Structure 1
Amino acid sequence: MLTYLSLAVLASVLMALGLLMMKSRSADLPMATGANTIGAIVAWIRDPIWIGGLGVQTAGWACYVIAVSRAPVSMVAVMMQGGIGLFVIASVAVLGERATAREWVGIGAIIFGMLMLTLSLQGGEAEVAFEPGTLLMFTVLLTAAGLAPMALARMNASGAAAAIFSGVAFGLGALFTKAMTLEFGGDAVLVALRLLSNPYVYGMLVANILGIVMLQNSFHSARAIIAMPLSGALSNIVPIIGGMIVFGERLPAGSVAATMRVGAFALTIAAGALLSGSREQLPREAVVVGPLSRVKS
């Protein structure tokens, strides 16, 4: 179990680094909106730093898939929450963004939550009782909830709506990934064939692509220190709740371990909310690009 949770920590580091690379290019790359969506995405792909960041993120995702295939998705999600703290620190050190006392408290709370989770591992087990219908209903309800903030002009302008939807999309992607890994095991060729016909593979791909696009869009209107915690907190809340509802994951049998586990979940969620409530930063001038055109520098 510790091996796979260590892989989750490595995944969180790689994903934070990849996002930092992608955020560093947000001022020079266009937003993917309306008729310019395809052109903007092509511009992102042509940018060597942005595509490099996506590659680092993909490596982190591969580590995540291995971790979630053998560990409860709710536990892996909490370990992944540490990536928020890493990203905030890197945003201050590399991007020059300023952190407040409130934000440092949030980072400390995330680290302490990970320690509590580690101490609770001896009592943790997963009970896989996957319900496809429950996952479908959960997906529909959360998608509607994630889209709701986009109806508010203020949240759209601040980048919060895009960050919220990206977090929901990434969280659903984590649940689809867990469902996908249930096909692992046995002959490699048979596993590959089963995965090609597995709807959760395509759900995972769509969810993660939407998450990346919406998070990159939020980087144009919000500080990294705001957008990433907001997206990251939601992307971990979704699989924590979904792991219990959809996959029947349970708490440790011991009361002390169970209390630490619940405390770790609550503390990391609260820390994400604490970080996301920081003051907004005015966006830089947006880059405009036509369909399939190059970025103007």
Structure 2
Amino acid sequence: MTTPRWLAGFGLILAGLAGQLVVLTRIPLTVAQPVFASGIVFLLLLSMTVLGERLTAREWTGLAGIAAGVVCVLASLDPRTDVPGTGGHAVRVLLVAAPSTLAGVAVFVTAARGRVRPRPAGDVPYGLAAGIVYGVAGMISKGLSASIDFHGPTAIAASVLASPYLYLLVPVTLTGFVVFQTALQRGRASIVAPVSTVVSTLYTVVAGTPMFGEHLPPDAADLTLRLTGLALIAAALFRLPHGDDASG
């Protein structure tokens, strides 16, 4: 964990987290999280070029579903009505975050003990475990973003350090990082990463939207696009784990 490559990767994760906090102050979770999920495209390309993994036709279809879902979500964005929430209470978030994190860890431990089917289905629980924990971190990040005062570096630092969400986010994020890194070592990146991404996205949207007082679009057309996009991304979760069943 002290190699330059690992440290560079960890630094990129921290930079991504900082960018995520800024984005969450400007758009609601039902838009932000699916857009974040589009990063899986880059990761899968790396899995092919760097790790030498070969995506099957089924996996390409799942990836296309994620891309189409993100497009639908972006098309549904209306700046007049899509206002990011600022509500939420740290204790209430903790009551949801603690058992959810433990559930993710339990799924990971079960997978590590070999109580799952052979690959590729055996890789799915690793992605599910990482996705749950990262989903919890996403929900907490929303709370932290809403509590930051962006009027200068001093105000940002002071508000972050004073926010109880910071002290919830750090242990959950570190837990998710360890689970995800271990999952990548034990399973296929092209299975673990998409499952983790979709699960974390859906968790954050479903748990975080009511938690922070956000709402779905009032316009019927925008609502249809938003829900269609989320449904396409969810469907990709069931498409990707069976990649070995098809050739590509």
**What TM-score results when the alignment is normalised by the length of structure 2?**
0.85
Among candidates 222, 241, 246, match of residue 211 of structure 2: 246
Instruction: Tell me how far 1:73 sits from its aligned partner.
Output: 2.3
Deviations 1:215-243 (A, max 9, x none): 11111211110111121112111111122
Tell me the equivalent position of 1:61.
17
Deviations 1:158-217 (A, max 9, x none): 454443222222111111111112222365435433322322102111111111111111
Instruction: Tell me how far 1:81 sits from its aligned partner.
Output: 0.9
Tell me the equivalent position of 1:120.
76
Q: Distance in 2 between matches of 1:263 and 1:250?
A: 16
Q: 1:273 to 1:145 in 2, by over 3 A?
A: farther
Q: Distance in 2 between matches of 1:178 and 1:199?
A: 12
1:125 is aligned with what amino acid? V
**Percent sequence identity over matched residues?**
26
Tell me the equivalent position of 1:219.
184
Is 1:233 matched up with 2:198? Answer: yes
Is 1:171 matched up with 2:135? Answer: yes
Q: Distance in 1 between matches of 2:162 and 2:193?
A: 33
Secondary structure of the structure 2 residue equivalent to 1:220: helix
Larger radius of gyration: 1
Q: Distance in 1 between matches of 2:85 and 2:164?
A: 22
Tell me the equivalent position of 1:37.
none
Q: 1:155 to 1:113 in 2, by over 3 A?
A: farther
Q: 1:207 to 1:116 in 2, by over 3 A?
A: same
Secondary structure of the structure 1 residue equivalent to 2:54: coil
Higher RCO structure (Cα 8 Å, ≥6 apart):
2
Structure 1 residues 8-157: aligned runs within 5 Å:
44-45=1-2, 47-122=3-78, 124-149=82-107, 150-151=109-110, 153-154=113-114
Structure 1 residues 180-195: aligned runs within 5 Å:
180-185=144-149, 188=152, 189-195=154-160
Cα RMSD after superposing both structures: 2.3
Q: Distance in 2 between matches of 1:259 and 1:142?
A: 29
Among candidates 255, 264, 274, match of residue 220 of structure 2: 255
Unaligned runs of 5+ in 1: 1-43, 281-297
Q: 1:186 to 1:84 in 2, by over 3 A?
A: closer
The answer to whether the 8 A contact 1:74-1:243 is kept is no
**What TM-score results when the alignment is normalised by the length of structure 1?**
0.72
Q: Distance in 1 between matches of 2:72 and 2:41?
A: 16
2:131 is aligned with what amino acid? G
Is 1:273 matched up with 2:238? Answer: yes
Q: Distance in 2 between matches of 1:96 and 1:151?
A: 28
The answer to whether the 8 A contact 1:159-1:222 is kept is yes
Deviations 1:237-284 (A, max 9, x none): 11111222311211111101001101111111221332234349xxxx
Unaligned runs of 5+ in 2: none
The answer to whether the 8 A contact 2:58-2:242 is kept is no
Instruction: Tell me how far 1:143 sits from its aligned partner.
Output: 2.3
Q: 1:118 to 1:184 in 2, by over 3 A?
A: same
Q: 1:162 to 1:105 in 2, by over 3 A?
A: closer
How many residues in Structure 1 have an aligned counterpart in Structure 2?
A: 236
Secondary structure of the structure 1 residue equivalent to 2:87: coil
